[in-house]
Amino acid sequence: MQPTESGAVEAGMPDFATARRATALLREFTELTEQFERSVALELEVNPTDLQAMENLLMSGPLGASELARRVGISAGAATTSIDRLVALGHVTRQPHPTDRRSILVVPQQTSRDRAMSRLVPMIMGIDAELDAFTPDEQQAITRYLQQVVDRLRRHADPSAPAQAE
C-alpha cells in the first residue's frame, strides 16, 4: 500500500507504519526477491512467465506441457508459446515421453540449469549461512515464526481454502 502524493494513506485503509520492524523486513525481502528474479530473467533473456516455467523445470525435472501449464497457472496455448520461446533460446528441449507416445516432456538443458544455479546457489547458501549467527534456540524461534508467516500467506493466497481462525 502506497501513500498518496500528499503522503497520506487512502481513507479507510490501514496505516502500515505501525507494523513491527520484522513485518517491514518481510515486505522488503519480498521486494528484493522480485528484483533478484528480474535480474535472473534478464541474464537468461526470458520474460517472467518463462522464468516461472524454468523454475518449475529446474526444481521438478522434465514435465509434460499440460503439467507445466498447470504449475505456472497459464493456459495450454500460453504454455506452448512459452515452451517455444525457451526452445528457441536453448533453455529446454522437447523429448518424447517414455511411456506415452502421444505426449512430450519439456526438459531443461544442463547449460541453462548451470547458469541459473550459478546465481541461485550462492544466494540461497548465503541466506542459510546467516543462521549461523544464532543459537539453536534462536534458530528454532526464527523457523517457527517463518513457518507461521508461510502458513498465513498460504491461507491468504488460496481464497478457496477453508477459513481458519485467525
Q: What digits encode the pLDDT tens for the residues 89-146?
A: 999 999 999 998 888 999 999 999 999 999 999 999 999 999 999 999 999 999 999 9
- Judged against a pLDDT cut of 60, whether residue 163 lies above it is answered with no
Residue matched to cell numbers 533478484? 36
40 membership: H or E segment, kind and range: helix 21-44
Q: Where are the beta strands (DSSP E) in 28-132?
A: 63-64, 92-96, 104-108
In this prediction the pTM is 0.75
